[in-house]
Structure 1
Amino acid sequence: MENFVASVSRAEAALRDLFEPTPLQRNDHLSAKYGADIWLKREDLTPVRSYKLRGAFNAMRKLVGDAPGSNAHFVCASAGNHAQGVAYACRHFGARGTIFMPVTTPQQKIDKTRTFGGEAIEIVLTGDYFDQTLAAAQAFSADQGAQFLSPFDAPDIIEGQATVGQEMLAQMGRAPDLVVLPVGGGGLAAGVTRYFAEEAPETRFAFAEPLGGASLQAALQSGAPVALPAVDSFVDGAAVARIGALPFEVLRRFRPADVHLAPEDRICITMLEMLNTEGVVLEPAGALALDVLRDLDQIEGKTVICVCSGGNFDFERLPEVRERAQRFAGLKKYFVLRMPQRPGALRDFLQLLGPHDDIARFEYLKKSARNFGSVLIGIETTAPENLTTLKQRLDQAGFAYRDITVDEILSELLV
């Protein structure tokens, strides 16, 4: 039986029929910021703008051979990058693909998947939630005798994702001190760490998970994969409730402390920083590894590779990303203000604003009493301390208010 490194080498060579190795680029901005030698493995620059194509291609290659033209039928369930990778590979091999996507999938992702797959694929929209979509896809696959392609929990998928690691070592020409990997279902992390364990065992690893989807950390703490009770779907490319069983068998040797959790709103700051400073478009999952650099100890002077796992970002989400980034940075707050119903009350409030405070939202809600009315007000500023000072002035002036910026329920209802 072919060993893992040899299998990965064969997969990597076959991938060249689709695309050249993605760039490994030194990033001067991040290197200066963290006092380290920071390199980015740009998986956002594959033909489908994520690494998922690697695993899908490798799994199909094992079943239909390297030559295009096949009667094989592949099925997957995905709302994003895996769907696009499967679609692209189906078209390459001339294979039939049926891709199940939730009804709630944004039209942009549906259109991109259809573009990549062309006439080779059929898209089935079913289920309001991914678990429903997955169940429908698996039932269809069994009924049709088709091959179901897991996004991460299959040996050939893991092997395909491991080609990221082979390319990194070949491009750098030496072993880096540290590799930072984003984790969703664990296929990429399992593949790369297993490859490095044989080819560069001295390299250390750090893993990045979204705070609202820390399935690897939960599994390491429990000693086995566990299902998270709830998942924040904002980092949709890595928001997985349960780490894959096969990936976990590879990753179980690591410690919970090796996993670093990125708050969803803080990831937005990293996305905007890369967009505005470097002109690099990353989706939330693609920015995970970069976001946790600030949490890593003793990386000064070290050579660090961060995997930018995907760049499928819908710019219609940009206002939301900016909003979340401002809130996390303390540059924007929302208040419900109890405003006296008298002439001049609004003027009195406006005079309390500082020179850098800007009203971004102003809305009367309803009269809560005959002499007072409630106002929803959003304030943007240039430094967090400005809002602290504004609160102090409001207190001194006797205004009654409530800061609802981090109140999830009220913010969702009112903002």
Structure 2
Amino acid sequence: MSTFVEKVAEAAEALRSLFPATPLQENDYLSRKTGARILLKREDLTPVRSYKIRGAFNFFRKALAKGEAPESFVCASAGNHAQGFAYVCRHFGRRGVVFMPVTTPQQKIDKTRLFGGDFVEIRLIGDFFDDCYHAAQEFSVAEGGMMVPPFDHKDIIEGQATVAYEIASQLGQDEADLVILPVGGGGLAAGVTHYLHQKGASTDFRFAEPAGAPSLQAALGKGRRVKLETVDNFVDGAAVAEIGREPLRHLKDFAPEAVRLVPENRLCATIIEMLNIEGVVLEPAGALGIDALKDFSRKDLKGKTVVAVVSGGNFDFERLPEVKERALRFEGKKKYFIFRFPQRPGALRDFLQLMGPDDDITRFEYLKKSARNFGSVLIGIETKDRKNFGILRKRFDEAGWAYQDITDNETIAGLII
């Protein structure tokens, strides 16, 4: 009976019929910044710009090798899994049906259709993922379809483990001191850690989860799978309410402290940083591993070889304004205030004279007239240096302005910004 390592090697060899090994690139900018040798495993450079194609391919390959020939392969996804699934359907010449929520952006629908061509049918069902997932399950039972899960299956994990096979081959005689893995459902993390452990590597691991979707950390803390009551969907490629059963079987012995929770706004700053400085386009989930480097001190990383897996680059540029906004707020360079604005001639001029040369008003909106002589005004201010807000507040106070900083007030900001 083949070992896991042997099965992964076989999967990696078969995968070469689709695309060559993705690069393991040393990043000079991040290396200088951290004092370590930072290597990026560029899964954003697969044909579908994410690692998801690996698991889907291996699932199909093994199902077909067993002589299984369903009426159609089926998946429920609005993201990278759908695109990898579609690409593999076309590769094997098999019919695939993709269930997506009605709310899926047209760009994602078009890309999935492009990768699958005539072999894939897309069905838009429901407003939320759970709706289309249940529809996909019902279709599979009724029509003799075979569900291809995004992460919770041993063949999917085996396929994702080919990332580790390539890393080990590309490092040669060297060994990574630390591998940082993004986590959503856990298939990639399970495959990579299991493979390297089976190979006898002494590599340390850290896992990067969105702060708003800590399903792995919650499970490790409780010693069992936990379904999160709420999930922040901003990091859509990793916003999973419950870690997969099969992935957790491989990850259960890690301590909760091995998981680094990445704040969504800080992640936005990393996306902008990599785009502006390195010209690398990353989706939020794809930037998790790079962002997690910020949680290590220079002393912790100095002289070490660190591999950060870049899981995907399917970034919708319509989201860029939101990402830039959140990055500026994290960096303290943009804030929102509600001012009690006097209703008199010259009030706006007086206010503008308090602004410095590096300060810019990006939003000015009357919310309501609070009284005959005053009105509530929402004012957004952006500056080049976060320290400028200390100067501005002092000027506002000395001039007698009544105001409230609502930047970090999620309730108020969520309603009016």
TM tier, shorter chain? over 0.9
Could you tell me which residue of structure 2 aligns to residue 202 of structure 1?
A: 202
Aligned residues: 414
Aligned to 2:85: 86
Structure-to-structure mapping, 1:88-237, within 5 angstroms: 88-173=87-172, 174-237=174-237
- Deviation per residue, 1:337-356 (Å, 9 max, x gap): 11111112111111111121
- TM-score of the pair, normalised by structure 2: 0.97
Residues of 1 paired with 2:321 and 2:41: CA distance?
A: 27
The residue number in structure 2 matching 1:390 is: 392
Match of 1:43 in 2: 43
SS of the aligned residue for 1:212 comes to coil
More off after superposition, 243-252 vs 71-80: 71-80
1:297-356 deviation line (CA, Å, top 9, x unaligned): 511110000000000001111111000000011000011111111112111111111121
- CA shift, 1:200, in A, is 4.0
Residue 402 of structure 1, CA deviation: 1.2
Whole-angstrom CA distance in 2 between matches of 1:340 and 1:296: 48
Give the whole-Å Cα distance in 2 for the aligned partners of 1:401 and 1:184.
Answer: 40
Aligned positions of 1:13-32 closer than 5 A:
13-32=13-32
- 2:384 and 2:45 mapped to 1: Cα distance? 34
| Partner secondary structure for residue 387 of structure 2 | helix
Give the TM-score normalised by the residue count of structure 1: 0.98
Deviations 1:173-230 (A, max 9, x none): 1211000000000000000000000114300000000000010000000001100110
Question: 2:60: which partner in 1?
Answer: 60
Provide the rounded CA distance (Å) in 1 between the counterparts of 2:346 and 2:285.
49
Question: Residue 34 of structure 2 aligns with which residue?
Answer: 34
User: Kindly, what percent of the aligned residue pairs are identical?
Assistant: 64
- For residues 116 and 407 of structure 1, the distance between their equivalents in structure 2, rounded to whole angstroms, comes to 42
Instruction: Say which SS state the counterpart of residue 123 (structure 2) adopts.
Output: strand
The equivalences for 1:252-331 within 5 A come to 252-297=252-297, 298-331=300-333
Counterpart of 1:399?
A: 401
> Distance between the aligned counterparts of 1:261 and 1:82, measured in 2?
23
Q: Measure, in 1, the Cα distance between the counterparts of 2:42 and 2:69.
A: 31
Q: Match of 1:261, as an amino acid?
A: L
**Residue identity matched to 2:292:** V
Greater shift, 404-413 or 325-334, is seen at: 404-413
Aligned to 1:151, the other structure's residue is in SS state: coil
Could you tell me which amino acid in structure 1 is paired with residue 129 of structure 2?
F
CA contact (8 A) 1:14 1:66 kept: no
Deviation at 1:135, TM superposition (A): 1.2
Equivalents in 1 of 2:301, 2:66: separation in Å? Answer: 42
Superposed, 1:350-361 pairs within 5 Å as 350-361=352-363
Q: Unaligned 5+ residue runs, structure 1?
A: none
Q: CA deviation at 1:267?
A: 0.5
Q: d(CA) in 2 for partners of 1:44 and 1:112?
A: 15
CA shift at 1:395, angstroms? 1.4
Alpha-carbon separation, structure 2, partners of 1:66 and 1:313: 36
C-alpha separation in 2, matches of 1:388 and 1:104: 42
CA distance in 2, matches of 1:370, 1:54: 65
- Name the CA distance, whole Å, in 2 between partners of 1:360 and 1:384: 16
In structure 2, what is the Cα distance between the partners aligned to 1:33 and 1:2? Answer: 43
Answer whether contact 2:70 2:145 (CA < 8 A) is retained: no
> How far did residue 412 of structure 1 move?
2.4
Partner of 2:198, secondary structure, is helix
**1: CA distance between counterparts of 2:369 and 2:404?**
16
2:76 matched to which residue of 1? 77
Amino acid at match of 1:251: L
Q: Give the distance between the partners of 1:127 and 1:225, measured in 2 at CA.
A: 26
| Cα-to-partner distance string for 1:101-158 (whole Å, 9 max, x where unaligned) | 1111110000000000011011011111111111111111111121101100000000
Q: Which stretch shifts more, 120-129 or 35-44?
A: 120-129
Q: How far 1:296 moved relative to its partner? A: 2.3
Q: 2-side partners of 1:293 and 1:111: how far apart?
A: 34
Out of 58-67 and 282-291, give the one that drifted further: 58-67
Superposed CA RMSD: 1.4
2:378 is paired with a residue whose SS is: strand
Write the letter of the residue equivalent to 1:205: F
Amino acid aligned to 1:184: G
Residue 71 of structure 1 contacts residue 95 of structure 1 at CA under 8 Å; is this kept in 2? no
Tell me which stretches of 4 or more aligned residues in structure 1 moved more than 4 Å: 69-72
Note if contact 2:282-2:314 (Cα within 8 Å) is conserved in structure 1: yes
Q: C-alpha separation between the residues in 2 aligned to 1:388 and 1:317?
A: 30
Q: Distance in 2 between matches of 1:366 and 1:64?
A: 65
Deviation at 1:54, TM superposition (A): 0.1
State the shift of 1:28 in Å.
0.1
Q: Distance in 2 between matches of 1:92 and 1:276?
A: 35
